[in-house]
Structure 1
Amino acid sequence: MPKLTEDFGRPSFDPHAPLSGWPVFRGFDTASECEQDRQQIKELAQKDRPFSPEIPSMTRERTAVFKLAVTFAVCVSSDDPRLKPK
């Protein structure tokens, strides 16, 4: 998923940023395993949960941006040329 950033003090992300700048969350042996995990994460993120008071940086606004950013998550092979910095 795109890296979360701050724009003028507000949480943000750029879904059009190069994949080389996106964080890698997990590695999988197969594309099928990755896709299954991606779908599960998307479903969990969309559940109506309040922000986490245990994690101060997870404000309501940041949680909403995270939920949207998760919808852009993609599975790519570790040798995908888009992962190489330009």
Structure 2
Amino acid sequence: LERRELLVGEEVVLLRTQEFDMLRVFMEHPGVAFDRARLLNLAWGYDFYGQTRTVDVHVSKLRKKLQASQVKIETMVGVGYKLVT
């Protein structure tokens, strides 16, 4: 986390700042489900004015970048998302 790099196997995977910040929240709270609003708040703070659906877009991008790893982001229907290792 300190180096802001994601290693999948031996390959460094490039993440945009918002993707990294969201992944950091998931990694700091593995197995905890977050709704969109809470995830936005924890990842990007109170002054983020985007729509909560932007979370879906970033989760989709993270899932693609994590495909080769054992880490998955699961959808919890009616709740939100959680990291599963």
- Alignment TM-score, normalising by the size of structure 1: 0.33
Higher strand share: 2
Q: Which has the larger radius of gyration?
A: 1
- Alignment TM-score, normalising by the size of structure 2: 0.33
